[in-house]
Amino acid sequence: MDVRVHPVPLGYTRSYILIGEGAVLIDGGNPKKVGSFLKSLKQTSLNPQDIQLIVITHGHFDHIGSVHEIQKVTGAKIAMHYRDKDCLENSFKPGVRGVTAWGRVLASLTSLMSPFMHIEPAEVDIVLEDEDFSLVKFGIPGKIIHTPGHTMGCVSVLLDNGDAFVGDMAMNSFPLRLTPGPPVFAEDFDRVSKSWQGLLDAGASRIFPGHGKSFSADVIQKILS
Ligand SMILES: [Zn+2]
Ligand SMILES: [Zn+2]
What average pLDDT values come out for the chain (225 residues) when binned by 10 residues? 94 97 97 97 96 98 97 98 97 86 87 86 98 98 98 98 97 87 92 96 97 96 89
126-164 pLDDT, tens digit each: 999 999 999 999 999 999 999 999 999 999 999 999 999
Per-residue model confidence (pLDDT) at position 72:
98
**Residue 84 and residue 58 in contact, taking contact as beta carbons nearer than 8 Å:** yes
Q: Which ligand is nearest to the CA of 87?
A: 1
Per-residue model confidence (pLDDT) at position 81:
98
Q: What is the dihedral of CA 72, 77, 82, 85, to 10 degrees?
A: -10
Per-residue model confidence (pLDDT) at position 203:
97
Ligand 1 centroid from CA 1, angstroms: 31
The residues near 201 (Cβ < 8 Å, ≥ 6 apart) are none
Per-residue model confidence (pLDDT) at position 218:
96
3-state secondary structure of 57: coil
Ligand 2 centroid from CA 168, angstroms: 5
Ligand 1 centroid from CA 211, angstroms: 10
Look at residues 178, 183, 141, 170 and name the one whose alpha carbon lies nearest to residue 158. 141
Per-residue model confidence (pLDDT) at position 115:
82
Burial of 136 (0-12, 13-18, 19+ CB in 10 A): middle
Residues 2 and 71: their CA atoms lie apart, in Å, by 25
Ligand 2 centroid from CA 210, angstroms: 6
Residues 92 and 84: their CA atoms lie apart, in Å, by 9
The residues near 164 (Cβ < 8 Å, ≥ 6 apart) are 156, 157, 158, 199, 204, 205, 206, 207, 208, 217
Look at residues 175, 184, 128 and name the one whose alpha carbon lies nearest to residue 156. 128
- Residues surrounding ion ligand 2 at CB below 5 Å: 62, 168, 210
Q: Which ligand is nearest to the CA of 12?
A: 2
Ligand 2 centroid from CA 224, angstroms: 21
Residues 30 and 66: their CA atoms lie apart, in Å, by 6
DSSP letter at 14 equals E
